[in-house]
Protein backbone atom coordinates (compact mmCIF):
# COMPACT_ATOMS: atom_id res chain seq x y z
CA UNK A 1 0.00 0.00 0.00
CA UNK A 2 1.41 3.35 -0.98
CA UNK A 3 1.58 6.26 1.43
CA UNK A 4 -0.94 8.19 -0.66
CA UNK A 5 -3.37 5.27 -0.51
CA UNK A 6 -2.87 4.97 3.24
CA UNK A 7 -3.57 8.69 3.66
CA UNK A 8 -6.84 8.36 1.75
CA UNK A 9 -7.92 5.30 3.72
CA UNK A 10 -7.21 6.88 7.10
CA UNK A 11 -8.60 10.32 6.28
CA UNK A 12 -11.46 11.05 8.75
CA UNK A 13 -13.57 12.34 5.88
CA UNK A 14 -13.74 8.84 4.38
CA UNK A 15 -13.99 6.73 7.53
CA UNK A 16 -17.17 4.81 8.27
CA UNK A 17 -19.46 5.25 11.24
CA UNK A 18 -18.82 8.95 11.67
CA UNK A 19 -22.39 9.89 10.69
CA UNK A 20 -25.42 9.18 12.83
CA UNK A 21 -27.94 6.59 11.75
CA UNK A 22 -31.37 5.65 13.05
CA UNK A 23 -31.68 2.37 11.13
CA UNK A 24 -30.33 -1.12 11.74
CA UNK A 25 -28.19 -1.06 8.57
CA UNK A 26 -26.04 1.87 9.68
CA UNK A 27 -26.91 3.95 6.63
CA UNK A 28 -26.62 7.65 7.54
CA UNK A 29 -29.79 9.70 7.68
CA UNK A 30 -29.95 12.29 4.91
CA UNK A 31 -32.24 15.22 5.64
CA UNK A 32 -34.91 16.09 3.10
CA UNK A 33 -34.11 19.25 1.13
CA UNK A 34 -36.79 21.89 0.86
CA UNK A 35 -36.74 24.19 -2.19
CA UNK A 36 -38.80 27.32 -2.64
CA UNK A 37 -40.41 28.14 -6.00
CA UNK A 38 -37.57 30.44 -7.12
CA UNK A 39 -34.98 27.70 -6.63
CA UNK A 40 -36.98 25.20 -8.72
CA UNK A 41 -37.15 27.61 -11.64
CA UNK A 42 -33.43 27.38 -12.52
CA UNK A 43 -32.82 23.80 -11.40
CA UNK A 44 -31.19 21.54 -14.00
CA UNK A 45 -30.81 17.80 -13.59
CA UNK A 46 -28.18 15.72 -15.33
CA UNK A 47 -28.11 11.94 -15.40
CA UNK A 48 -24.89 10.29 -14.27
CA UNK A 49 -24.42 8.51 -17.60
CA UNK A 50 -24.71 11.82 -19.47
CA UNK A 51 -21.89 13.51 -17.56
CA UNK A 52 -18.35 13.66 -18.91
CA UNK A 53 -15.08 14.52 -17.23
CA UNK A 54 -14.52 17.53 -19.49
CA UNK A 55 -17.85 19.20 -18.57
pLDDT, tens digit, for every residue of 7-53? 877 777 776 667 788 888 888 888 888 888 888 887 788 888 877 77
pLDDT (0 to 100) of residue 25: 86
pLDDT recorded at residue 11? 78
* Torsional sign, CA 32, 35, 39, 45: positive
pLDDT at 17: 63
Q: Count CA atoms within 13 Å of residue 24 on its CB side.
A: 0
> What is the spatial distance between Cα 24 and Cα 13, in angstroms, rounded to a whole number?
22
pLDDT for the residue 20: 80
pLDDT of residue 52: 75
- pLDDT band at residue 55 using 50, 70 and 90 as cut-offs: low
Amino acid sequence: MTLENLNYRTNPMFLRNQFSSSNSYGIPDVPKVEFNDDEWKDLRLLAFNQSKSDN
